[in-house]
């Protein structure tokens, strides 16, 4: 069974730069369904009724309460992983479908109470109109506004035999209630946005204070002069801080090549990981490959496929990716 994979924009860009060729956002890997967990195989058969030739972005329709409609509570969720097709494993698919099922359950729970409440109001205030409508088309949709749920009902063409005044009164009441919900949701969203902006401003001020203190204590004469002259100095600051706080590490953006998953690591790989964790306790062991660049048009070209490959470690410093173990002579 084939599986569509969506890769992040950052990963696509980095790989395109490293490989010197276009790297697609969407690729298709292949998985043997027998390697999937029983829960995953059950979900596939429940949702698709069979094993699809290709598992694309998932859109699940789930019933909500006793209402005779199927709200689209989850739509267009693709398997997101920064990998190449040959790196796809059953764990990726298992985790993807488990996450969708969990999200669907959470959304369905969030829907149930407000939808049931509004339905009860309609049944009471609509003088029987909505009881009749249950036999016909009624769609319920939900929009996530801040912490609240805005609910609206789109009702199909008026049915023959229903009193027009009652129908219009029910629709007017529905619209009035929707306006109240949207207004409340907008106020909640505005309050949350203001709170987030205040938090961002404080975080930025704290980061700037930390930067100036570090430069004052540890910065080189050059870096201090750049600050004094109010000359942009982000790269100089980051390089100096990385060199002091993470000796032996380098920025991934300055490192050619790509990483793949480390499998069945040898002892030298584990030794490298121990060494890297002396300065970054969260370091992760990977296998690094730097492809050899040569003229593809030369039929007699016998250059090696890789310029260098071996174990390396990945980490993060100041919110940016760093690499340990790639020889210094390889740089962008």
**pLDDT tens readout for residues 256-283:** 999 999 999 999 999 999 999 999 999 9
Q: What are phi and psi of 187, to 5 degrees?
A: -65, -40
Q: 26-30 and 2-6 as β-strands: parallel, antiparallel, unpaired?
A: antiparallel
Q: 2-6 and 54-55 as β-strands: parallel, antiparallel, unpaired?
A: parallel
**pLDDT tens readout for residues 57-78:** 776 554 443 333 334 444 567 8
Domain that holds residue 20: 1-110
Domain count, the chain: 2
Give the per-residue pLDDT at 119. Answer: 55
Task: Tell whether the model's pLDDT for residue 83 goes beyond 90.
Answer: yes
Give the per-residue pLDDT at 3. Answer: 93
3-state secondary structure of 175: helix
Domain boundary among 46, 80, 110: 110
The answer as to whether 49 is a domain residue is yes
Domain boundary among 110, 141, 167: 110
The answer as to whether 26 is a domain residue is yes
- When pLDDT is cut at 50, 70 and 90, the band that residue 148 belongs to is very low
The answer as to whether 230 is a domain residue is no
The answer as to whether 280 is a domain residue is yes
The answer as to whether 87 is a domain residue is yes
Domain boundary among 95, 110, 125: 110
The answer as to whether 173 is a domain residue is no
Range with lowest mean pLDDT among 135-144, 207-216, 301-310: 135-144
The answer as to whether 70 is a domain residue is yes
The answer as to whether 140 is a domain residue is no
Task: Tell whether the model's pLDDT for residue 124 goes beyond 70.
Answer: no
Is the Cβ–Cβ distance between 94 and 43 less than 8 Å? no
From the list 105, 174, 110, 184, the residue with the least C-alpha distance to 142 is: 110
Helices (H) and strands (E) counted in the chain, each on its own, are 8, 13
d(CA 316, CA 85): 25
Residues 6+ apart with CB under 8 A from 80: 5, 6, 7, 8, 96
Block residue for tokens 């010197």: 20
């Amino acid at each position: 069974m084939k599986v569509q994979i969506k890769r992040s924009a950052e990963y696509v860009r980095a790989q395109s730069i490293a490989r010197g060729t276009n790297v697609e956002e969407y690729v298709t890997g292949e998985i043997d369904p027998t390697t999937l967990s029983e829960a995953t195989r059950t979900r596939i058969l429940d949702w698709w009724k069979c094993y699809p030739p290709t598992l694309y972005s998932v859109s699940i329709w789930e019933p909500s309460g006793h209402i005779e409609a199927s709200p689209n509570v989850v739509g267009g969720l693709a398997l997101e992983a920064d990998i190449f097709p040959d790196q796809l494993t059953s764990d990726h698919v298992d985790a993807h479908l488990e996450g969708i099922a969990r999200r669907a359950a959470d959304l369905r729970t969030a829907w149930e109470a407000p939808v049931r409440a509004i339905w009860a109001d309609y049944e009471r205030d609509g003088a029987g109109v909505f009881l009749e409508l249950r036999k016909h088309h009624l769609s319920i949709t939900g929009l996530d506004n801040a912490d609240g749920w805005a609910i609206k009902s789109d009702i199909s063409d008026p049915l023959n035999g229903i009193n027009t005044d009652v129908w219009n009164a029910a629709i007017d009441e529905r619209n009035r209630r929707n306006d109240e919900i949207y207004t409340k949701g907008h106020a909640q969203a505005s309050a949350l946005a203001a709170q987030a902006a205040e938090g961002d401003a404080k975080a930025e001020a704290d980061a700037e204070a930390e930067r100036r203190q570090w430069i004052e204590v540890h910065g080189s004469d050059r870096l201090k002069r750049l600050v004094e002259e109010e000359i942009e100095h982000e790269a100089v600051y980051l390089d100096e801080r990385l060199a002091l706080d993470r000796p032996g590490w380098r920025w991934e953006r300055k490192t050619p090549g790509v990483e793949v998953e480390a499998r069945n690591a040898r002892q030298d790989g584990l030794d490298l990981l121990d060494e890297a964790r002396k300065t970054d306790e969260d370091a992760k062991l990977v296998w690094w490959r730097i492809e050899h660049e040569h003229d593809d048009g030369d039929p007699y070209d016998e250059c090696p496929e890789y310029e260098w490959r071996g174990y390396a470690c990945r980490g993060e410093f100041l919110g940016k990716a760093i690499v340990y173990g790639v020889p210094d002579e390889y740089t962008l």
